[in-house]
């Protein structure tokens, strides 16, 4: 059964709003926080709680139950001074492993690393560019779906090194910690879904739906070639 988390998203730019909606769709209890009332009105139907407040107001922020959150995303880095103050408040009241802070550029990244003892900082633009670069190197990859907490689903053609092998012979799961969720078998011009069984022999026209962490998928893609 899927674990439901209590998550706060503070600072609702385009990325923050998209994150709130995705977490809400995944069934998590999401508290969205922003200083702009119009933004709160826009997001209120896509989260559990939508709160208009200044995140640099320590009393107001703590009153939203941040100590009880499983994760806290600080996603707006446009006002870096506010981000620093908010991060300091979060660090004071919450375990560092629960805090995830967005940075906009390398200067912000270095300041955050030097000033705080938090474990996780991120830049969604850099991560998106890296993922697109990976996809560009492997043209046999189709759809890509980012899943909560750094997991991903990819739809891809069978790599040439695995054509003619059984699922068991590929050793994808044991070698890369990646699961094949589904096989789409081409019949005429249509694809039908096939169950994944150890003795299924992979064909050139098959499509695979694979699941794993982004790090494991990167390692996997680094070992295969489209040539």
Give residue-wise pLDDT tens across range 143-170.
666 555 567 778 888 888 899 999 999 9
HSE (side-chain half, CA atoms, 13 Å) at 47: 29
In whole angstroms, give the CA distance from residue 118 to residue 130: 23
CATH superfamily assigned to domain 6-122: NAD(P)-binding Rossmann-like Domain (3.40.50.720)
> Which residue positions in the chain have pLDDT lower than 70?
1-2, 77, 125-150, 225-227
Domain ranges for the chain, please list them. 6-122, 126-221
Distances (CA, A) of 159 to 57, 83, 188, 225: 53, 44, 21, 7
Q: Can you name the CATH fold of 126-221? A: Alpha-Beta Plaits (3.30.70)
Residue 164 zone, left/alpha/beta (φ > 0; ψ -120 to 50; rest): left
Q: What mean pLDDT, rounded, does the chain reach?
A: 85
pTM: 0.61
Q: In sequence order, what are the beta bridge partners of 101?
A: 74, 121
């Amino acid at each position: 059964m899927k674990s439901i988390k209590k998550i706060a998203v503070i600072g609702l730019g385009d990325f923050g709003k998209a994150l709130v909606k995705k977490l809400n769709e995944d069934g998590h209890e999401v508290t969205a926080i922003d200083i702009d009332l119009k933004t709160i009105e826009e997001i209120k139907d896509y989260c559990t709680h939508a709160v208009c407040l200044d995140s640099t107001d320590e009393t107001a922020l703590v009153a939203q139950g941040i100590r009880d959150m499983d994760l806290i995303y600080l996603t707006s880095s446009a006002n870096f001074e506010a981000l620093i103050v908010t991060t300091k408040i979060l660090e004071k009241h919450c375990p560092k492993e629960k805090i995830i802070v967005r940075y906009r550029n390398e200067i912000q990244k270095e300041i955050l690393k030097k000033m705080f003892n938090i474990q996780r900082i991120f830049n969604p633009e850099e991560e998106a560019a890296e993922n697109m670069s990976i996809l560009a190197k492997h043209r046999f990859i189709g759809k890509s779906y980012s899943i909560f907490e750094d997991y991903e689903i990819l739809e891809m053609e069978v790599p040439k090194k695995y054509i003619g092998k059984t699922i068991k012979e590929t050793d994808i799961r044991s070698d890369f910690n990646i699961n094949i969720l589904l096989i789409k078998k081409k019949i005429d011009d249509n694809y039908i879904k096939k169950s994944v069984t150890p003795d299924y022999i992979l064909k050139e026209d098959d499509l695979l739906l694979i699941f794993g962490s982004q790090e494991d998928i990167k390692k996997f893609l680094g070992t295969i070639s489209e040539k």
